[in-house]
Structure 1
Amino acid sequence: MPLSTFNMPHAIIKTNKNLNDIECVNIFRYKNKGILPLDEFRCFLDVYKKQDLLIIKLNKATRSIITDKLKDAILNTAKKIADNLNCEIVSHNLEHTNTNIEFCDCYESVYPQKILTYNKESINNLEIGFGRGEFLINLAKQKPEESFLGIEVYGKDFLFALNRCCNEKLNNVKLLNYDCNHVIDLFDNNSFDNIYVNFPEPWFKLYRIKHSIFNKITFQKIRDKLKQNGFLHIVTDNYPFAVYSAIIGQFFSLKPLGKFFIETIDDFDTLYAKKWKRLNRTFYRLCLQKPFCSPKTTLKTFDFPLKLEKFEYKSKDLIFKILGIFENNSIDYKIIETAIGNYLAQHVFFGLKDKTIFLLPQTNFIYTSDFCDALEKVIK
């Protein structure tokens, strides 16, 4: 197995020993895999064997912001385990990249029972998938009297944009690092004057449309977050995606600003747009207006800990499933990994003791309608 297989922060130890031989840290085990809590960073490390290699890798589901401090913690943990096993680290990707930044007011964290800190009365604009933030930051500079919120799921791009916002001391921008399919539920209906989605589907395929940002569930939620007469702005270099966006926009009663749903534009000022421009690609733009007001919605919330009546529920629309039960014989509770929601289910870790689930530092989810509906099916 090539040592360069892994992209997430990781260290690899060459050893013939197994997880059960590790005594220096409190690993929770499930089958042939372990997770190791790093409470300070609200994350887990995955620990598992592949042939004669022991892999110690950041768990993706806990959505950590990858800074040099976190890399140091992972490397120090790997060194501790290597010393315990009398082995050595043969590979890692934990070199510093100058990402020890102090999060400024632009950073909007996400955690259970989240209350957003922006002023809902003054918010104007949302960009979904802002990448490195060129478009969002430039627009925020051009319109300092308006406020801007950005959502980006990829941590590396998010951190780059956050660093720039903090360095430039922008006070009209908030940035969220999460999956839009879930985080969109945090916002009230009829909140935004403008929602921007730029180059969202570089490899758009109809057969995986339910995983697209414009699947029917998420698209309807995005539409509902617009104010009456607000605009959804879409730019793409993928013509099938532009056509699909026009069709689904019309299905959900959005109207084109001009005579046509789709128009071509010559240029667009983002890193990826400049790359596509060099490849002579055509850019397509849609500006869709919402001519009505959406009804207000109220999400349920839950007071943890919660008693489980059953450990699994599955229907056509909802799922609650335990993907793994991790145990440590020296600790009186277990850690469970769950999938909760619809087909875009959130992967969430909880503590488990006597059929009761409770929050951990690594518990990270958004109260969405499908999450709440699925959870309600299994609790007493």
Structure 2
Amino acid sequence: MTSITPTRLSDGRELIYFDALEGSAALHRDAVATHDTRGLPPRGPAGTARYDALTGEWIAVAAHRQSRTHLPPADQCPLCPTTPSNLSEIPTDYEVVVFENRFSSFGPDLGDLPATPEWGTTAPAYGRCEVVAFDSAHEGSFGSLSPQRARTVIDAWAHRTEALSAMPGIKQVFCFENRGADIGVTLLHPHGQIYAYPFIPPRAATLAARAAEFFEASGGKQTLLGHALAAERASGDRMVIEGKHFSAFVPFAARWPLEVHLVPHRRVADIAGLTGEERDELTTVYLELLGRLDALYPTPTPYIAAWQQAPIDDALRPASYLHLQLTSPRRAADKLKFLAGSEAAMGAFINDTTPEKVAEALRSATPATRKDPA
């Protein structure tokens, strides 16, 4: 069972320890051990959200992020536990920790955006952005975690999804991991992020609308992703992993050179809805999937791991279906796919790989032997 211990950093931001071991949990219940001694100034107000009347989308303006930490040396990493020479964001050693981002795109203020925006409408960039540090060790990614640590991260995602979904004005909770300098990471320490948006982002809105349309047409008897999952399992051409509770496959119309969807067999709206048994298998299947991805080439593959969860909207949640979209721009050992004119300007993707061949390569890949801690 994961122990959860909240505290506050010196500028008022919330920090939460997630521990599988009682020794770690006991340390984090010690107010002296978890005290942030930096004496940071109070946080400023939220940034700005501007409404794009041409697309109907909200754009966050967060100029303060220009000064955020960028690829610091290991002895100055803000996600490593604090030492006398490095007063970091995390006051003591930890297993998994979640805290409010110091350079947040959304929040810390909460509230509702204007209901009827028009050209020139601005509002506070309500919401919340959190950092999820997967491990106290400086190097690695989710795929290099031990199964026990990965399982604790999943519990942290579930806890934060439920808590953030209940906050005023939040319309979408997004858990994700950016891995690799080619993706644009600014910290090499193994970590992910969680965004709680005050609106439903465009990609999520498209997925939710298509799912709702299919669900309504079936009389509320079938979900769109459930239908696709059944078709992929029946075909087998693009399957990568098939378990008792989860399956991973390359989608029929993959956009990216490397793209895999990891889908639970039971429809749930979000990570918080997974049972303990489902989370256990998710740990195993997800680590295997990332291992297969890294076995494709001699060097680690950059990726974005994006958890698509149901919007916080009563009309959309019944049709929405939790799943992970794992994507990488890597199209060869020494080549990346850049989003050029067609993709970036028109949103029309052109894939340089064949989904069936990518699935075959992933099935044939042998993950490296995992070295779990003693």
TM-score by length of 1: 0.24
Q: Which structure has greater strand proportion? A: 1
Q: Which has the larger radius of gyration?
A: 1
Give TM-score scaled by structure 2 length.
0.24
